[in-house]
Amino acid sequence: MDKFVIKGGKKLSGSVDINGAKNSTLPILAGAILSGDNVMIKNIPDLKDVRTMMDVLRSIGLRLTEDFESRELHIKPSEKLNIETPYELIKQMRASFFVLGPLLARMGKARVALPGGCAIGTRPVDIHLKGLEKLGAKIILGHGYVEASASKLVGDNVYLDFPSVGATENIMMAATLAEGKTLIENAAKEPEIDDLAAFLNTLGAKIKGAGTDVIEITGVKSLGGGTHSIIPDRIEAGTFMVAAAMTGSNIKINNVRLDHLEAVIAKLQDAGVSFYKTGTTIEVAAPERLKPVNIKSFPYPGFPTDMQPQFMAAMTLAKGTSCIQETIFENRFMHVAELKRMGANVQIKDRSVIVEGVKHLSGAPVMASDLRAGAALVLAALAASGKSEILRVYHIDRGYESFEKKLAGLGADISREKDTALY
Ligand code: UD1
């Protein structure tokens, strides 16, 4: 296992490039199952999760050729697909479950392992399954697997009890090959859903309204090939914005879709951070000291839960008290105990955290418990005085490409080392 060793207190400067979005790439790769022809994906990020999804597609029988230098991935179809996705792959990444809808639509049958619990909550898949049943799938649960089958899928109105991102994507993918029209109501509106729909439409799907809360899909007989370029990762961009904000720095972030980051930018502006836009580059300038700001995570266009840990880290250094509320996941405060070890004054109260800003954090050995919590600890360590060690960096590698190299490029004192301790 690797760890990051960080000597904090250095100001950042210069510019950093943002990669393609992890959360677009994963469902788009699953969506390639629907195609009967060659698919090319551009701007693909080199991430552990993306490589896991590539392994999932290979296990199903698709042929993939990747070139992470040019950020291109070619996917060749196969007449016969393996309908089973084993637990070994699903347990590595919940998003592997996205293959259920496309496999079912393409092959009439799919057997996919149920994702287990994970560090940030139980994360059930009931909304995915209810939606697929509404399209005519027969679902059997047993032995840790979901078995879905349908001689044909038929479009229908699917109302989601909660605008789940993954369920919207799974149902949307299945509906592209269903007979007739499907309406997904109370759909999730995240930009990654719009990106998936754009990809599927390039292949010949008929999807309207993605990015709004009603998505209309008119089923087609088959999908062809095509080329699609992934949108920039809004969470990676937001994380670098907070890095600048917390270290009192001024940096430039390239390849940003500002329209995808309105809630994050608005909250950072409330905290005193300034932004200057030139094309797709944004310059972030931190104030001397951050002001306290309350946030509440919500489905898009609300404040993203995937930025909550990083924003909380920033608020630990604000001048005053802030309240961080989490409404999407029931257990997404694993970073609180670790931030305390660095001298933060943070208290959990139900699904909120009260943060009393302190003047300084002090470096300490801390443990990443999940992807964004890990990122938050790295940011805190950059701002803290002295040395920190961030253990279990594999969580961070799932979603940030070359995180330490990009931060070092901005002037941070950070290195990746082998962690030989036994846990
Ligand atoms: C996606 C993102 C993740 C982000 C999350 C919320 C990907 C690969 N991951 O995850 O980074 O944090 O959206 O923005 O895109 N739920 C149910 N039943 C279901 C499905 C979800 O109860 O069938 C609940 C979950 O437990 C959770 C909430 O709904 O509390 C949100 O989950 P969802 O939007 O589905 O998140 P994911 O698609 O898993």
pLDDT of residue 176: 98
Domain ranges for the chain: 2-19+232-418, 22-229
pLDDT band at 118 (very low <50, low <70, confident <90, very high): low
The answer on pLDDT for 117 being more than 90 is no
Task: Check residue 84 and give its pLDDT.
Answer: 93
pLDDT of residue 138: 97
pLDDT over 70, % of the chain:
98
Q: Check pocket membership of 117 for ligand 1, CB cut-off 6 A.
A: no
What confidence tens digit (pLDDT) does each residue in 273-319 have? 999 999 999 999 999 999 999 999 999 999 999 999 999 999 999 99
Atom of ligand 1 nearest to the CA of 95: 8
Task: Quickly state the pLDDT bin for 91 (edges 50, 70, 90).
Answer: confident
Q: What per-residue confidence (pLDDT) applies to 154?
A: 98
At residue 330, the pLDDT reads: 85
Domains 2-19+232-418 and 22-229 share a fold: yes
Is 118 assigned a catalytic role?
Answer: yes
Predicted pLDDT of residue 120? 55
Q: What is the mean pLDDT of residues 391-410?
A: 96
How far apart (Å, rounded) are the C-alpha atoms in residues 31 and 41? Answer: 11
Q: Whole-model pTM?
A: 0.97
Task: Indicate the fold that domain 2-19+232-418 takes in CATH.
Answer: UDP-n-acetylglucosamine1-carboxyvinyl-transferase; Chain (3.65.10)
Q: State pLDDT tens for residues 322-352.
A: 999 999 998 899 999 999 999 999 999 988 9
The CATH class, in words, for 22-229 is alpha beta
Summarize pLDDT for 148-206 with one digit per residue, the tens. Answer: 999 999 999 999 999 999 999 999 999 999 999 999 999 999 999 999 999 999 999 99
Cα 234 to middle of ligand 1, angstroms: 17
Spatial contact of 12 and 381, defined as CB atoms under 8 Å apart: no
Residues 6+ apart with CB under 8 A from 422: none
Which of 40, 114, 118, 220 is labelled catalytic?
Answer: 118
pLDDT band with cut points at 50, 70 and 90 for residue 256: very high
Cβ-contact 396, 366 below 8 angstroms: no
Is the pLDDT score of 423 beyond 80? no
Q: Which of 328, 333, 351 to mutate to test the pocket of ligand 1 (most atoms within 8 A of CB)?
A: 328
Does ligand 1 come within 6 angstroms of the Cβ of 164? yes
In the reported structure, the alpha carbon of residue 288 is separated from the centroid of ligand 1 by a whole-number distance in angstroms of: 36
306 lines ligand 1 (CB under 6 A): yes
pLDDT on residue 31? 98
User: In the predicted model, what is the mean pLDDT of residues 375-399?
Assistant: 97
52 lines ligand 1 (CB under 6 A): no
pLDDT for residue 144: 87
Query: Structure tokens of 215?
Result: 């998505």
Does 94 score more than 90 pLDDT?
A: no
